[in-house]
Amino acid sequence: MSEIARRSEFPDTRGWIRALPTLTASAPPFAPAATPQETFLRWLTEAAEAGVAEPHAATLSTVDPSGTPDARMLLIKDVTDDGWWFSGDDRSPKGRQLDATPAAALTVYWRELGRQVRVRGPVLAGPAEVCARDFRERSVFARAVASTGHQSEVLTDSAEYDDLVRERLTALEHDPDLVSPHWTAWCVAAEAVEFWQADPGRRHLRYRYRRAGDRWVTEELHP
C-alpha cells in the first residue's frame, strides 16, 4: 500500500491532494446480469463480503426549486424490480425537493473494490403500507427522532429538542405501532444505471443499462 503523503510536506493544498494515492483497489471479474438490479445486488454482496463498511450507503442527489444541486448520504433500504428504495420525512429538504422535482440520482462507491454505481431516474413515493413498514423497522429512538418533524431546521434550544424526543419516546412506548404520517419510502425508478470498475491502467470499465420500454439496453462506454 502506498505511503500517505503528509500535508505538511507540501507547499500548497493542490500539491498534497495530487499526491494522494488512487486506484489502489482490486475487484472481482465483472459479469453483468440481465438487469441492473441483479448486477447491483451481486456487487453489493461482494462489497459486504469484502468487509466494506456500510456497503448500502449512497449519495442521494436532488435539486432545489432554483435548480441548485443538493446531496446527502443515506442508506438504501431495498432493491426491487421497481427500483432503488430510500426513506425519510417528506418535510425535510430532500422531501420538499422531491415533491417539487421528482427525479434524483443515487451514487454508491465501494473504495475497497474500486467500484461505483450511478442510478438515475424519476422518484415515486411508495404506498402507505410500505412507508409504515419502513418506519416501524427503525429503532424506537430513530422513530422518536424522525417524529419530531424539524429536520434541518435551526436548533435554537437543545433542551427543548431533548424534551420533544423524550415525549415522542413515551408515546411510542405506549403505542409501538405509531407511524409518522410524514414518513415516506421513495423509489428511484431507474432509467439508466451505470457500473464503473477502476483499472490501474486507466482502462476503466463503464457498463450502462438503459431502459427502453419494458426492457434494458446494455452498452459499454468509453472510459
The DSSP code sequence of 125-158 is: EPPHHHHHHHHHTS-HHHHHHHTT--TTS----H
Cβ–Cβ < 8 Å for 186, 125: yes
Do the annotations mark residue 94 as ligand-binding? yes
Do the annotations mark residue 115 as ligand-binding? no
Q: Domain 34-138+182-220 adopts which CATH fold?
A: Pnp Oxidase; Chain A (2.30.110)
Residue 127, pLDDT above cutoff 50:
yes
As beta bridge partners, residue 220 has 207
* Residue 191: other Cβ atoms inside 10 A: 15
Do the annotations mark residue 41 as ligand-binding? no
The alpha helices in the chain, defined as continuous H runs, are: 13-19, 36-49, 93-100, 128-136, 140-146, 158-174
Do the annotations mark residue 17 as ligand-binding? no
Do the annotations mark residue 76 as ligand-binding? yes
pLDDT recorded at residue 33: 96
**pTM given for the model:** 0.87
Do the annotations mark residue 74 as ligand-binding? yes
Task: Determine the average pLDDT of the residues in 118-125.
Answer: 99
Q: Which of 8, 137, 167 lies closest to 77, judged by CA?
A: 137
pLDDT recorded at residue 138: 94
Domain residue ranges in the chain: 34-138+182-220
Question: Among residues of the chain, what percentage have pLDDT more than 90?
Answer: 71
> What pLDDT, in 10s, does the model give residues 28-77?
788 899 999 999 999 999 999 999 999 999 999 999 999 999 999 999 99
> What pLDDT, in 10s, does the model give residues 162-212?
888 999 999 999 999 999 999 999 999 999 999 999 887 777 899 999 999
Do the annotations mark residue 206 as ligand-binding? yes
Residues for the chain: how many in total? 223
Cβ–Cβ < 8 Å for 33, 216: no
Least-confidence region, from 76-90, 156-170, 203-217? 156-170
What distance in Å separates the CA atoms of residue 2 and residue 219, rounded to the nearest whole number? 34
| Distances 158 to 148, 154, 163, 165 between C-alpha atoms, Å | 13, 11, 9, 11
Residue 1, pLDDT above cutoff 60:
no
Do the annotations mark residue 1 as ligand-binding? no
